[in-house]
Amino acid sequence: MINPTELERKLNRILPTVQKPGRYTGGEFNQILKDWDSTPLHTALAFPDIYDLGMSNLGITVLMDILNQQPDMLAERVFSPWSDMEAAMRENGIPLYALESKRPVADFDLIGISLPYETIFTNTLNLLDLAGIPLRSEDRTDADPVVIAGGHATFNPEPMAPFIDAFVIGEGEEAILDVARAVLAWKGSGKPRAALMRSLAAINGIYIPSLYAVDYNPDGTIAGVEPIVPEAPARILKRIVGVLPPPPDKLLVPFIDVTHNRVPIEIMRGCTRGCRFCHAGMINRPVRERPVEEILNSIELLLDSTGYEEVGLLSLSSSDYSQILKLVKGVNQRFAGRHLNISLPSLRIESFSVELMDLLLENSNRGGFTLAPEAATERMRGIINKPVSTQQLLETAADIFSRGWHTIKLYFMIGHPDETLEDVQAIADLCKLVRDEGRKHIGKRAQVNAGVSTFIPKPHTPFQWVPADTTEMIKAKQDLLRRELRGPGLKLNWTAPEETMLEALLSRGDRRLSEVILHAWQHGAKFDAWREHFDIEHWLLACTMSGVDPDFYTHRERGEDEILPWDHIDAGVKKSFLLEDYRMSKSGEIRPDCRSHCYACGILPKFSQLRRENPGPAWACPEIPEKRGHGAG
Amino acid sequence: MPADQITPEKVRYFITFAKEGAMRFGGQLDLQRTFERTLRRAKLPLAYSHGFHPHPKINLGAALPLGIVSLCEIADIWLEQPIAPDKMIAALQAASPEGLRFVEARQAPPKEPALQNLLASAEYQIEWHQEDQPEDLKKRVEQLLSQSSILRERRGKSYDLLPLIEELQVNQRADGQEMLLLKVCLQPGKTGRPDEVLRAMDLDPFLPDITRIKFHYIEKTDVDKGSD
């Protein structure tokens, strides 16, 4: 194996020849480089896309911090090289290396891969290949690293099952240490790899796909998923933390420009809104808030330790953070005069949001104000469970334009199979109404940018049974929008239907899709999330080679009693609740925000002990009285 | 603080620093960004420009081609209050990534023109690892300098590299190995690049370690006091 010094010398020669060489050097401010020989467990955290994106991934940052705080563990970073660097590395015999120590990834004990979305799957295979690690779990020996994965896409782990030794389902803050401890205990124990897998299977929230057998019905649906060893539970309940752990004190500061150059603070996890298309909203329950004081202290600490000039206050729905006004006022008071840029994404469509942004921005940076109405007719709003009235949107728009913003970005979603061309026409009409509202206030400068994505039915949501819209229908809807949304003050962005098809195929796939992913990668698919790299032909060819009919996964309506490929993964929300919500959607019935009333989604009984241990307003779920005999209550 | 509260008593400093390690693979914008953040982490009282989008007053000297180390970069910065140079260096060093090494800070006359306009030329040292050492270095240098012009192309424009080379000689290191010392013009529109000189000698510009070791100025100014 190549040593770090040799590797660095080779690197120094090729780095001046590639784009943005700062992606591949490490050495950023606040980097932690621990001594290799005196640290027993070597872990590498990988984000299988480029540095620019990976460095903006909060999950990696948090897990690095947790692992590096352990005296007997070290954690280093790994990202995918862009194609120019990959070519240079392959040509010069440079294996994939970790940025901190420049050691080959294959030298590490444990590789943790972040899988936030499905279009990162081929990059994951490419990353393992560049590292020289066997792609299939079954081909790895005791000398190979243990490969684990976590992130939103692993709530349906099946398409990647053969390639990953262990999946961490749910939140990783505590689970990562359980896994790392088990790997450390196994390392040097002389026990076979299979023994480690069985001990990992016994950890809550850990799914070892090789310990489960999948049977299929003659029609191709799943007959059953059964564990084959006693340690493996029939269903794997996701891990959550009772309280959001305090953010790290320090953050790496890249010296190149990355996607988000800012201090990211998670103010709240989860969402109570219950939009039926929203994967994140369903899998991240329950809602847990971080206290205002902790957020403010953390911002101060991180601004001082990074020198950043921007803060992102992150959550799935910022307006729903119960102390939002107090938070915004606190930020204002505490950091006045620091020349800060503050972003507060995901705001509700109401005047209060405009007041908040007005407070937050003072005199600076009124670029665009973003709102996500998602649908433009009452009918569609009922189907997707996002009840925002046109009236409310127009009033909010008037506020926005009259307070100094010139541009409103509106996010919509097309492609629900029950959506008609009239519903899509209404999107175009609504955009024009918003623009006209702007013209009343600021004249011709008023601009509406519509971002129209295409609906993808996701696992663990009420729409997990719904077929994806046909490509012809999506094209017809997009044609309509392109026709309608032209002219002054209007701009339209949309997603290519082929990209939507790939995501729809992979997100509700089963184990048989692993062959498709492998073939697609072997035929050149990688960076599928990048328009300049994505080519649906790789995937169509791969489907043919694997004997897989993509329509079976994308366009088939699932039966209500069908065993779904991810049914053994328990996200906390009951399948019966999702089904009830699915039926409500068919009749356009709204299920209101669950902050005011609990609809028994299933989270609370599954995490009742954790809720008892963390009483009070930090959780949005109702309180559970202490059990009898425990005294309190 | 708001721009309207900036006091007129701003103080100007010239800071000499080394750009090495990972930092040498960052471009000029990356350096600018890193410099700003380092100054902020060091809690120096940065002066901001006036206007709707105030930005810190930091001026960095001549851009380095990617991959080249420098021991003599100069930053021209403005602070709200004076601070003792040694304290400034210590604060900056503690707040900087490993590829930025602060050497010296000096208070500078506020009236002096911008740094870029004072530079005349730069000196580079070019060294090879033992196994990469080209054998006929002296001959290549003689051959290059004996030409009547060296036509090169940069960003689609043709130019003559020869008049930009002020000095090019082969020196011997203590261990007997040969290295190049190159002095090239560094003025607006007349910038000689060491990688271009190597290419003109038919040498791989990415093989050796190249270090910018010294600036020369148009006239004797406050900037290069002490470094001579």
The complex's ipTM works out to 0.89
Chain A residue closest in CA terms to B64: A16
Cβ neighbours, 10 Å, residue B190: 13
Please list, residue by residue across A284-313, b when 16 or more beta carbons sit within 10 angstroms of its beta carbon and e when fewer do.
Answer: bbbbbbbbbeebbebbebbbebbbbbbbbb
In the structure, what pLDDT confidence band is assigned to residue B2 with cuts at 50, 70 and 90?
Answer: very low
Interface check for A307 against chain B (CB to CB < 8 A): the answer is yes
Whether residue B146 lies inside any domain: the answer is yes
- Classify residue A336 by burial, with Cβ atoms within 10 Å: 0-12, 13-18, 19+: exposed
Tell me the average pLDDT across A46-70: 96
Residue of A112, A178, A123, A201 lying closest to A151 (CA atoms)? A112
Tell me the average pLDDT across B197-209: 95
Residue of B37, B67, B31 lying closest to A30 (CA atoms)? B37
CATH class of domain segment(s) A4-237? alpha beta
How far is B58 from chain A, CA to nearest CA, in Å?
Answer: 15
The answer to whether A466 and A416 have CB atoms below 8 angstroms apart is: yes
Indicate whether B176 and B204 sit together in one domain: yes
Please enumerate in sequence order all residues whose Cβ is within 8 A of that of A566, keeping only pairs 6 or more positions apart, or say none: A155, A156, A157, A158, A459, A460
Chain B residue closest in CA terms to A21: B25
Residue A615 confidence (pLDDT): 93
Interface check for A404 against chain B (CB to CB < 8 A): the answer is no
Pairing of strands B69-79, B209-217: parallel
Which residues of chain B neighbour A14 with C-beta distances below 8 Å? 206
Domain A366-495 has CATH 3.20.20.370: no
Residue A345 confidence (pLDDT): 87
- Put simply, the answer to whether A337 touches B2 (Cβ < 8 Å) is yes
Tell me the average pLDDT across A405-415: 96
Which residues is A569 bridged to in the sheet?
Answer: A236
In the structure, what pLDDT confidence band is assigned to residue B100 with cuts at 50, 70 and 90?
Answer: very high
Indicate whether B10 and B103 sit together in one domain: yes
Indicate whether B107 and B9 sit together in one domain: yes
User: How many distinct structural domains can be found in chain B?
Assistant: 2
| Cα–Cα distance for residue pair A42/A345, rounded to 1 Å | 36
| Cα–Cα distance for residue pair A571/A459, rounded to 1 Å | 10
Does residue A573 surpass a pLDDT of 90?
A: yes
The answer to whether A529 and A585 have CB atoms below 8 angstroms apart is: no
- Put simply, the answer to whether A253 touches B37 (Cβ < 8 Å) is yes
Question: Average model confidence (pLDDT) for chain B?
Answer: 89
Question: Average model confidence (pLDDT) for chain A?
Answer: 95
Indicate whether B77 and B24 sit together in one domain: yes
User: In 3-state terms, what secondary structure has residue A46?
Assistant: strand
Does residue B7 surpass a pLDDT of 70?
A: no
Interface check for A545 against chain B (CB to CB < 8 A): the answer is no
| Cα–Cα distance for residue pair A511/A513, rounded to 1 Å | 5
Whether residue B228 lies inside any domain: the answer is no
Nearest CB among A28, A255, A307 relative to B41 is that of: A307
Tell me the average pLDDT across B21-31: 93
Does residue B102 surpass a pLDDT of 50?
A: yes
Interface check for A5 against chain B (CB to CB < 8 A): the answer is no
Whether residue B124 lies inside any domain: the answer is yes
Please list, residue by residue across B118-146, b when 16 or more beta carbons sit within 10 angstroms of its beta carbon and e when fewer do.
Answer: bbebbbbbbbbeeeeebeebeebbeebee
- Put simply, the answer to whether B97 touches A29 (Cβ < 8 Å) is yes
How far is B83 from chain A, CA to nearest CA, in Å?
Answer: 20
Nearest CB among B97, B195, B207 relative to A255 is that of: B97
What are the residues of chain B with a beta carbon less than 8 Å away from any beta carbon of chain A?
Answer: 1-2, 21-23, 25-26, 29-31, 33-34, 36-41, 43, 48, 52-54, 65-67, 95-99, 129, 195, 205-207, 209
| Cα–Cα distance for residue pair B189/B163, rounded to 1 Å | 13
C-alpha R_g of chain A: 25
Q: How many contacts, defined by CB atoms under 8 Å, are there between A and B?
A: 88
| Cα–Cα distance for residue pair A312/A367, rounded to 1 Å | 16
Q: Which of A205-219, A450-464, A579-593, A618-632 has the lowest mean pLDDT?
A: A618-632
Domain boundary among B92, B113, B134: B113
In the structure, what pLDDT confidence band is assigned to residue A25 with cuts at 50, 70 and 90?
Answer: very high
How far is A256 from chain B, CA to nearest CA, in Å?
Answer: 5
In the structure, what pLDDT confidence band is assigned to residue B9 with cuts at 50, 70 and 90?
Answer: confident
Nearest CB among B48, B97, B205 relative to A28 is that of: B97
Question: So where are chain A's domains?
Answer: 4-237, 366-495
Residue to substitute from B41, B46, B126, interface A, most A β-carbons within 10 A: B41
How far is B228 from chain A, CA to nearest CA, in Å?
Answer: 31
Indicate whether B162 and B181 sit together in one domain: yes
Nearest CB among B25, B205, B206 relative to A22 is that of: B25
Q: Mutual orientation of helices B28-41 and A292-306 as an angle, nearest 10°?
A: 120
Indicate whether B13 and B107 sit together in one domain: yes
Nearest CB among B26, B36, B206 relative to A13 is that of: B206
Which residues of chain B neighbour A363 with C-beta distances below 8 Å? 52
In the structure, what pLDDT confidence band is assigned to residue B6 with cuts at 50, 70 and 90?
Answer: very low
Q: Which domain holds residue B105?
A: 3-113
Tell me the average pLDDT across A451-455: 98
Output the pTM of the full model: 0.94
Q: Is the backbone peptide bond immediately before A286 cis, with ω within 30 degrees of 0?
A: yes
Whether residue B150 lies inside any domain: the answer is yes
Position of tokens 């103080």? B11
Give the distance between the most distant pair of CA atoms in chain A: 76
Q: What is the CATH number of the domain that holds B105?
A: 3.30.70.580
Residue B113 confidence (pLDDT): 83
How far is A27 from chain B, CA to nearest CA, in Å?
Answer: 6
- Put simply, the answer to whether B67 touches A306 (Cβ < 8 Å) is no
What percent of chain B lies above the pLDDT cut of 70? 92
The answer to whether A341 and A313 have CB atoms below 8 angstroms apart is: no
Q: What is the pLDDT of residues A210-262, one digit of tens each?
A: 999 999 999 999 999 999 999 999 999 999 999 999 999 999 999 999 999 99
Nearest CB among A17, A27, A257 relative to B22 is that of: A27
Q: What is the CATH number of the domain that holds B128?
A: 3.30.70
Which residues of chain A neighbour B66 with C-beta distances below 8 Å? 15-16, 21
How crowded is the C-beta side of A1, counted as CA atoms within 13 Å?
15
Residue B1 confidence (pLDDT): 43
Question: Tokens standing for A584?
Answer: 């409500």
Indicate whether B107 and B141 sit together in one domain: no
Which residues is B13 bridged to in the sheet?
Answer: B77, B107
How far is B14 from chain A, CA to nearest CA, in Å?
Answer: 21
Q: What is the pLDDT of residues A620-633, one digit of tens each?
A: 999 988 766 554 43
Does residue B8 surpass a pLDDT of 70?
A: no
Indicate whether B135 and B83 sit together in one domain: no
Residue to substitute from A29, A249, A261, A304, interface B, most B β-carbons within 10 A: A29
Chain A residue closest in CA terms to B43: A304
Which residues of chain B neighbour A28 with C-beta distances below 8 Å? 22, 97
How far is B56 from chain A, CA to nearest CA, in Å?
Answer: 10
Nearest CB among A13, A27, A307 relative to B37 is that of: A307
Residue B221 confidence (pLDDT): 54
Indicate whether B108 and B147 sit together in one domain: no
3-state helix, strand, coil in chain B (%, to 5): 25, 35, 40
- Put simply, the answer to whether B33 touches A305 (Cβ < 8 Å) is no
Residue of A64, A55, A10 lying closest to A32 (CA atoms)? A64
Which residues of chain B neighbour A55 with C-beta distances below 8 Å? none
Indicate whether B153 and B214 sit together in one domain: yes
Question: Tokens standing for A143?
Answer: 């000398």
Residue B32 confidence (pLDDT): 93
Which residues of chain B neighbour A332 with C-beta distances below 8 Å? none
Please enumerate in sequence order all residues whose Cβ is within 8 A of that of A223, keeping only pairs 6 or more positions apart, or say none: A215, A216, A217, A563
How far is A366 from chain B, CA to nearest CA, in Å?
Answer: 12
- Put simply, the answer to whether A256 touches B129 (Cβ < 8 Å) is no
Q: How many residues does chain A have?
A: 633
Domain boundary among B113, B133, B159: B113
- Put simply, the answer to whether B40 touches A253 (Cβ < 8 Å) is no
Whether residue B47 lies inside any domain: the answer is yes
Indicate whether B10 and B108 sit together in one domain: yes
Residue A628 confidence (pLDDT): 63
Domain boundary among B113, B131, B151: B113
Tell me the average pLDDT across A181-206: 97
Residue to substitute from A6, A339, A340, interface B, most B β-carbons within 10 A: A339
Indicate the residue type of A550. Answer: P
Tell me the average pLDDT across A303-331: 94
Whether residue B227 lies inside any domain: the answer is no
Chain B residue closest in CA terms to A308: B37
Nearest CB among A13, A306, A364 relative to B207 is that of: A13
Question: Tokens standing for B77?
Answer: 């910065």
Indicate whether B7 and B90 sit together in one domain: yes
